[in-house]
Amino acid sequence: MLNSIKIKQKCLLIFSILSILDGYAQTGLVVSELMVHPLSNAVFTNEYIELYNNGTQVIALEDYTLQVANTSIRLGNYYLAPRQYILLVAASAAPHFERYGNVMPIQTWRILNNINGTVSLLNKEQMVVDHVSYSNNWYGNPQKRNGGWSLERINPNLPCNNGNTWRASEAANGGTPAQQNSIWDERYVPTIRLTVQEINDESIVFGVFPSVADVSFGQHSEITVETVDLSIARYELGTESLTLYTSAALTWDTPIAIHFRDIRYCGQSQTVSISLFRSSTSLYNDLVINEVLFNPKVNGVDFVELYNRSNKTINLRGWRIGNRVISTEDLLMEPDDYRVLSSSPQRVQEDYPNAVSENFIAMQSLPAYPNERGIVLLYDQQRLIDSLFYQSSMHQPFLADVKGISLERQSSEEDTNSKGNFSSASTLVGGATPGYRNSTDVEKKVEKNSWWLDRKTFTPSGNGSESILVFNYAFSERNPMLNLTIYDSNGRVVNRLIRNKSAGLAGEVIWDGRNEQGALCPSGIYIYQSEIHTSEGHYQQFKGSFVLINAGK
């Protein structure tokens, strides 16, 4: 579904730039650098304002007025050639700057405010040709805003000045007076950051940074709404925000795509898009804790896996695991999706090669999860959605070492803390299943224990699927431990393939036809014997035979 509205007045919506169509440049006299906060122990101990002629004609500076805050200063008699700079400085500081280039001493220097202020250039008709309303937020560096560094214009050809077009100097001495700026980039095109402040039934309010002042719309500008059956009925533009009013109520838990075409920002025509998501209130256990690794392998890291057991898309923006925020941006999780929270997804994937990498969320850190016992808490904002009290005794009692083995949820329908709902992941799958279905998931439970072979004959010296023997199993007993032994036709042990491993409820075991010494077995009839046992006392044995054909023996 695609609905659109033509733009008839000035407004804005920006998320990501898709294409730059065309643009225009500002030519003439511009402010290109400001040293507003010099330090006595820095290279530059005095303030300066740098002007630049980015045009093709010589400019007579006496035709211009510098305005700092409410103070107007008529510039002196000087002709500034194209692509040249001149420094405006207090008369007493002029000798300190002469070695850098062109300098114009100002007898009545107006001190620049360190935090924020305005600097404007007016022509002889008293029309503003350039205006800079700077802020110490423009530095983009907390240390540099404390002084000793200038603010530099990135692209002096753009007809706008805001927090996207200025930044702290990267020069080693703190500035580039009467020289090309250290961050100079004539190809640079700025973008606007937009945040969704409020989503109501029939309106969306966006906050715009840094400013809407540099935005305009042409007669061909257009808003297009995609993925839902509604359109933009009207809009209102405030000084710092934009409100869109929709033709119908916005849907819940459904991504909405809005495209803007032919937007002019800083003189550049752009096509931009934003995705919105209106989240309904999450209910208890919409999302559940599904797997926890709290005793990782040596040099490994903990992880917590979440599972969306609801029938709706959930936005993890603002959610917390303990006191750690999962995401400050929109992060959608579809029904039946898994997400793994870890401080080092790469390390988890190294320890568990079957991990699904696209389901990981990198965290700066997780809460501390002690090896003996602890609690995992999941919040939607301040609302508790799930909690798990775990302890090491929840692991399989037959496991000699549980390091590197996770606790998996067995049923998403049962209460998180119901007895037996968390148990050891199958060691046959590596001891954890990060990012995919749990090995102990009882939702795939069968009525009775089953054990079977894909084929009764295999050729380990051959190629393809017939070169391995696959033992399949599906168990009705929870938390079974498995043994599997291969015998030759005389009853001699060939390979004790599985020795007291936690199996999970379903899976497979592969044999490549080699004995315990690693040598290929000779052709013949072989017998397998598998057995399962549980901590509740259940024991069952399976036996069968198969034929091994080895062309070499």
Locate the domains of the chain by residue range. 2-22+191-277, 23-168, 287-442, 450-548
Residuewise pLDDT in 10s, the chain (553 residues)? 444 455 433 333 333 333 333 444 567 999 999 999 999 999 999 999 999 999 999 999 999 999 999 999 999 999 999 999 999 999 999 999 999 999 999 999 999 999 999 999 999 999 999 999 999 999 999 999 999 999 999 999 998 899 999 999 999 999 999 999 999 999 998 887 777 888 899 998 888 777 777 777 777 778 788 877 888 888 777 778 888 898 998 888 888 888 878 878 887 887 778 888 888 889 999 999 999 999 999 999 999 999 999 999 999 999 999 999 999 988 999 999 999 999 999 999 999 999 999 999 999 999 999 999 999 999 998 899 999 999 999 998 888 899 999 999 999 999 999 998 999 999 888 999 999 999 877 665 667 899 999 889 999 987 777 899 999 998 888 788 999 999 999 999 999 999 988 888 888 899 999 999 999 999 999 999 999 998 888 999 999 999 999 876 5
Rounded distance between C-alpha atoms, residue 194 and residue 15, angstroms: 6
pLDDT at 403: 96
Q: Tokens for 313, please give them.
A: 């898309």
Q: Tokens for 279, please give them.
A: 């989240």
| Backbone φ, ψ for residue 175 (5° rounding) | -175, 170
Domain 287-442 maps to which CATH number in 2.60.40.1260, 3.30.930.10, 3.30.1360.120, 3.40.50.300?
A: 2.60.40.1260
| Backbone φ, ψ for residue 444 (5° rounding) | -105, 25
* CB-count exposure of residue 495 (10 Å: 0-12, 13-18, 19+): buried
Whats the size of the chain, residue-wise? Answer: 553
Neighbours of 39 (CB within 10 A): 13
pLDDT at 443: 61
Closest CA to 388 of 402, 371, 398, 374: 374
Rounded distance between C-alpha atoms, residue 337 and residue 307, angstroms: 6
The CATH H-level superfamily of 23-168 is Lamin Tail domain (2.60.40.1260)
pLDDT at 170: 97
Q: How do 338-342 and 360-362 pair as beta strands? A: parallel
Look up residue 27 and give its amino acid. T
pLDDT at 445: 61
Closest CA to 258 of 286, 225, 220, 213: 225
Using alpha carbons, list the distances in angstroms from residue 69 to 118, 119, 127, 474. Answer: 5, 7, 16, 79
Scanning the structure block, which residue is given the tokens 């080895």? 550
pLDDT at 16: 38
Q: Tokens for 506, please give them.
A: 């379903």
Question: For residues 240 and 212, is the Cβ–Cβ distance under 8 A?
Answer: yes
Q: Tokens for 308, please give them.
A: 């969306």
Neighbours of 91 (CB within 10 A): 12
Neighbours of 490 (CB within 10 A): 7
* SS3 annotation, 45-65: CCCEEEEEECCCCCEEHHHCE
pLDDT at 552: 62
pLDDT at 73: 96
CATH code of 2-22+191-277, in short, is 2.60.40.1220
359: DSSP letter = G
Using alpha carbons only, what angle is made at residue 47 by residues 44 and 50, rounded to the nearest 5 degrees? 100
| Backbone φ, ψ for residue 410 (5° rounding) | -95, -30
Q: Quote the pTM value.
A: 0.64
Rounded distance between C-alpha atoms, residue 529 and residue 407, angstroms: 29
Scanning the structure block, which residue is given the tokens 């077009």? 165
Closest CA to 160 of 20, 48, 59, 31: 31
CATH code of 450-548, in short, is 2.60.40.2550
Q: Going edge to edge, which strands form the sheet with 524-533?
A: 457-458, 539-548, 524-533, 481-488, 493-502
pLDDT at 258: 87
Q: Could you tell me what percentage of the chain is helix, strand and coil, using 3-state DSSP and rounding each to the nearest 5?
A: 10, 45, 50
pLDDT at 9: 34
pLDDT at 230: 85
Look up residue 279 and give its amino acid. S
Question: For residues 88 and 106, is the Cβ–Cβ distance under 8 A?
Answer: yes
pLDDT at 23: 44
Question: Given this chain, do its domains 23-168 and 287-442 carry the same CATH topology?
Answer: yes
If DSSP codes are grouped into helix, strand and coil, which group holds residue 197? strand
Longest dimension (CA), the chain: 111
How many H-runs (helices) and E-runs (strands) does the chain carry? 2, 41
Sign of CA dihedral 204, 207, 209, 214: positive
